[in-house]
């Protein structure tokens, strides 16, 4: 028979049972995924002077001292195992991926608390911050500079930048594509006379999700005044 010949079409009632099964299975799977999803956690570093809210999937550790993770299910011992670099005092938060340069947030003390802060210190520190960033790659560009209250501090200076870097562990002159990195260096000065350097960067053209998470981590950072 050719298609259409003697082919009668009729209506049929809805298969309620099937749709119930579909709703239960899909709903159950979705509920399971939500229940098992790692939760965002608050991480404190530098003896509680700095606190972060790290999204699921991000790792964080303080180089040189232990980090207290308020909501982590892991024991303190496992966090101590992750600590390395006893000389430095930098907090590192990263989103582990297979990319050679991953979204990263760094926090470190920018000054000796014994020294008073002031306009001269501010200008020198911003210059030092930019020079250090410029030395980490080539084609350094300052994209934008802004000053505003943030992190619970009255005065913060934001320097948005772009820079070109070789992939980590690439031999000099190796035939690899360099990576354009974009990010921000922030100098934060507290009322108590402490200065902090916050850096956040990621490869240019990273996913919007990664970019959004990076922005939320930085904006959600809190420094004890």
Partner 1 sequence: MISPLTSSHKHACCVCHRYFADADLQWIGGRTFCAVHHERAISATEAKWSRAGLLEAGLVVLFVLGVSLAFAGGSLPSGGPAALLLALVPAAIWLVYVYRQDRVEPEPLGLVLGVFVLGGLLEHALGDPLVHTLLQLDTWQHRSDLSAWVGAVTIEGTVAVLCAYLAVRYSVYLTSEFDEAIDGVIYATAASLGVATSQNFDLVAHHDHLLPVAGATAMASTTLVAVAAGSLLGYGLGRRRFDAKEGGRWLAGAFLIAAVVHGVFHELIVAAGTSAGEHEPLLGFGVAVGLTVFVLVGVHAITVGYARKMLADGRGDDVDEDDAFEDEEMELAS
Tell the smallest beta-carbon distance from residue 27 to partner 1 (Å): 9
Nearer to partner 1, 4 or 116 (CB): 4
By CB under 8 A, which span of 4-12, 123-131, 193-201, 214-222 interacts with partner 1?
Answer: 4-12
Q: Does 13 bind partner 1 (CB under 8 A)?
A: yes
Provide the phi-psi class of 64: left if phi over 0, else alpha when psi is between -120 and 50, else beta. Answer: left
Q: Does 21 bind partner 1 (CB under 8 A)?
A: yes
Q: Does 74 bind partner 1 (CB under 8 A)?
A: no
CA distance 22 to 17: 9
Which residues make Cβ contacts (< 8 Å) with residue 211, sequence separation at least 6? 103, 202
- Cβ-based neighbour number of residue 42 at 10 Å: 15
Site string for partner 1, 39-68 (x = CB under 8 A): ------------------------------
Cβ-count burial 125-141 (b if 16+ within 10 Å, e if not): bbeebbeebeeebeebe
Q: Does 73 bind partner 1 (CB under 8 A)?
A: no
Q: Does 29 bind partner 1 (CB under 8 A)?
A: yes
Q: Does 37 bind partner 1 (CB under 8 A)?
A: yes
By CB under 8 A, which span of 15-23, 106-114, 157-165, 178-186 interacts with partner 1?
Answer: 15-23
Question: To 5 degrees, how large is the angle CA 218–CA 46–CA 162?
Answer: 35
Contact indicator for 151, 188 with CB cutoff of 8 Å: yes
| Residue ranges that bind partner 1, judged by CB under 8 A | 1, 3, 5-13, 15-18, 20-22, 25-26, 28-30, 32-33, 36-37
């Amino acid at each position: 028979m050719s298609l259409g010949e003697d082919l009668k079409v009729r209506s049929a009632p809805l298969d309620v049972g099937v749709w119930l099964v579909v709703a239960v299975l899909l709903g159950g799977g979705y509920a399971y995924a939500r229940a098992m999803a790692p939760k965002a956690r608050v991480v404190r570093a530098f003896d509680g002077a700095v606190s972060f809210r790290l999204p699921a999937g991000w790792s964080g550790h303080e180089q040189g001292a232990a980090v207290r993770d308020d909501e982590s299910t892991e024991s303190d011992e496992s966090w101590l195992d992750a600590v390395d670099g006893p000389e430095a005092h930098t907090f590192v938060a990263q989103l582990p991926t297979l990319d050679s340069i991953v979204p990263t947030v760094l926090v470190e003390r920018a000054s000796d608390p014994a020294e008073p802060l002031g306009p001269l210190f501010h200008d020198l520190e911003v210059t030092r911050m930019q020079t250090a960033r410029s030395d980490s790659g080539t084609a350094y560009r300052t994209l934008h500079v802004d000053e505003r209250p943030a992190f619970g501090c009255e005065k913060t200076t934001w320097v948005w930048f772009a820079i070109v870097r070789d992939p980590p562990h690439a031999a000099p002159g190796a035939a690899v594509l360099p990576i354009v990195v974009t990010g921000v260096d922030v100098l934060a000065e507290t009322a108590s006379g402490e200065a902090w350097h916050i850096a956040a960067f990621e490869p240019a053209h990273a996913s919007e999700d990664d970019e959004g998470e990076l922005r939320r981590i930085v904006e959600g950072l809190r420094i004890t005044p």
